């Protein structure tokens, strides 16, 4: 029997590929948190990948690796989504498959992973704002105060670390915020009516006509040096961050709501800072522990605030 591309679900309940109910708030929070952990490794993995691949090769190959998702869809005989969902899937693909990897990889050519991580720390607030506009969510005043406080902490940290001057890398990162927030919002909406792994799976497949030719051209023009770091970094951003991480992330968003799930990402910059020290040997800023404490308090408040 062919698996259905969509399933009937309440606005706060996600359904997995077997039809099991994953709508419990606690389980949804765990899934969203696992997605955040996966995403927190993206920048260090990208830095590793850039040790052996050119920026355009890394971007294209990580996206073309979406053939894995396509294979899963074919093997499981998943029926294509309904026509009305394809535009939303295109937004997911443009935001999280193409736009965010492209812009952040370009930024990491001149920016440290630590600096990039704190700038992208504004992603939760950006996602909450877009979700309010797109799906009509109306979080409470307490939620917004806590979210703005968390964003303010991230901005203060960024300005302090950059000496008050923004760079071209920051421009790439701020653009990445917008396109990724759009992809997260649309993906969270679609995950309410189809399994989360199918949302990212179809978005990745939708991008293959662009990413496969891009990979072939980029690899022919940019030198490639296969090292353990480069291959590990590429595999993680292609499969860990861009597929497995997004599967649990979208399921988590469908279960607990886009605004609350997005605020869990306030912890992502701090996790990335830890990975940047452990994996890349970067210097951990003195202000990081204070920022971490402020951000974790904001997360606790947003998770308790009623939407």
In percent, the amount of the chain with pLDDT more than 90 equals 18
Contacts 24+ apart (CB under 8 A), 279-288: 279/44, 279/48, 280/44, 280/47, 280/48, 280/113, 282/112, 282/113, 282/114, 283/114, 284/114, 285/114, 285/157, 285/160, 285/161, 287/157, 287/160, 287/161, 288/157
Average pLDDT estimate for 212-217: 86
**pLDDT in the model for residue 18:** 36
User: Is the pLDDT confidence value at 55 over 50?
Assistant: yes
**For residue 48, pLDDT beyond 90:** yes
Q: Of the spans 59-63, 125-129, 138-142, 214-218, which averages the highest pLDDT?
A: 214-218
| Residue in this structure with the two tokens 């861009």, named with its chain if needed | 242
Q: What is the mean predicted confidence (pLDDT) over 142-157?
A: 83
Whether residue 53 is predicted with pLDDT greater than 70 in this model: the reply is yes
16 pLDDT above the threshold of 70: no
Q: Which of 297, 10, 273 is nearest to 116 (CA)?
A: 273
Query: Angle at which helices 268-280 and 42-49 pack, to 10 degrees?
Result: 40
Give yes or no for residue 297 having a pLDDT over 70: yes
Burial class (CB in 10 A: 0-12, 13-18, 19+), 256: buried
pTM for this model (two decimals): 0.74
Instruction: Give the helix/strand (H/E) hosting 136.
Output: none
pLDDT band for position 5 (cuts 50, 70, 90): very low
Q: What is the mean pLDDT of residues 209-225?
A: 87
Give the pLDDT score at 189.
84
What's the pLDDT at 227?
93
Specify which residues 82 forms β-bridges with: none
Backbone angles phi, psi at 56, to 5 degrees: -70, -35
- Please tell me the predicted confidence (pLDDT) of residue 214: 85
Q: Which residue has the higher pLDDT, 30 or 64?
A: 30
Q: 94-145: per-residue pLDDT in tens?
A: 998 889 988 998 898 888 888 888 788 788 778 878 887 777 777 788 888 8
- 3-state DSSP helix/strand/coil % of the chain, to nearest 5: 75, 0, 25
Location of structure tokens 């053939």: 67
Mean pLDDT of the residues in the chain: 80
- Residue 236 pLDDT class (50, 70, 90 cuts): very high
Judged by average pLDDT, the poorest of 11-25, 61-75, 131-145 is: 11-25
Among 39-53, 118-132, 187-201, 267-281, top mean pLDDT goes to: 39-53
Q: For the chain, how many residues are written?
A: 307
């Amino acid at each position: 029997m062919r698996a259905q591309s969509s399933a009937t679900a309440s606005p706060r309940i996600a359904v997995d590929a077997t039809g099991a109910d994953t709508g419990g708030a606690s389980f949804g929070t765990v899934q969203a948190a696992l997605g955040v952990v996966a995403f927190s490794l993206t920048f260090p993995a990208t830095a590793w990948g850039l040790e052996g691949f050119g920026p355009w090769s890394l971007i294209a190959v990580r996206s073309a690796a979406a053939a894995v998702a396509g294979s899963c869809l074919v093997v499981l005989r998943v029926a294509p989504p309904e026509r009305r969902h394809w535009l939303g899937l295109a937004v997911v693909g443009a935001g999280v498959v193409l736009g965010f990897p492209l812009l952040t990889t370009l930024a990491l050519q001149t920016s440290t992973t630590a600096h990039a991580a704190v700038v992208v720390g504004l992603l939760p607030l950006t996602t909450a704002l877009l979700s309010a506009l797109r799906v009509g969510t109306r979080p409470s005043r307490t939620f917004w105060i806590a979210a703005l406080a968390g964003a303010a902490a991230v901005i203060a940290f960024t300005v302090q670390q950059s000496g008050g001057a923004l760079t071209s890398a920051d421009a790439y990162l701020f653009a990445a915020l917008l396109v990724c927030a759009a992809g997260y919002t649309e993906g969270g909406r679609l995950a309410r009516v189809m399994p989360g792994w199918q949302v990212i799976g179809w978005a990745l497949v939708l991008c293959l006509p662009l990413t496969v030719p891009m990979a072939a051209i980029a690899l022919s023009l940019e030198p490639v040096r296969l090292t353990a770091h480069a291959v590990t970094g590429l595999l993680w951003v292609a499969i860990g961050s861009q597929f497995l991480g997004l599967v649990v992330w979208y399921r988590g968003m469908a279960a607990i709501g886009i605004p609350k799930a997005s605020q869990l990402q306030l912890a992502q910059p701090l996790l990335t800072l830890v990975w940047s020290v452990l994996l890349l040997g970067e210097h951990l800023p003195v202000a990081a522990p204070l920022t971490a404490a402020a951000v974790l308090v904001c997360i606790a408040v947003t998770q308790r605030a009623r939407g």
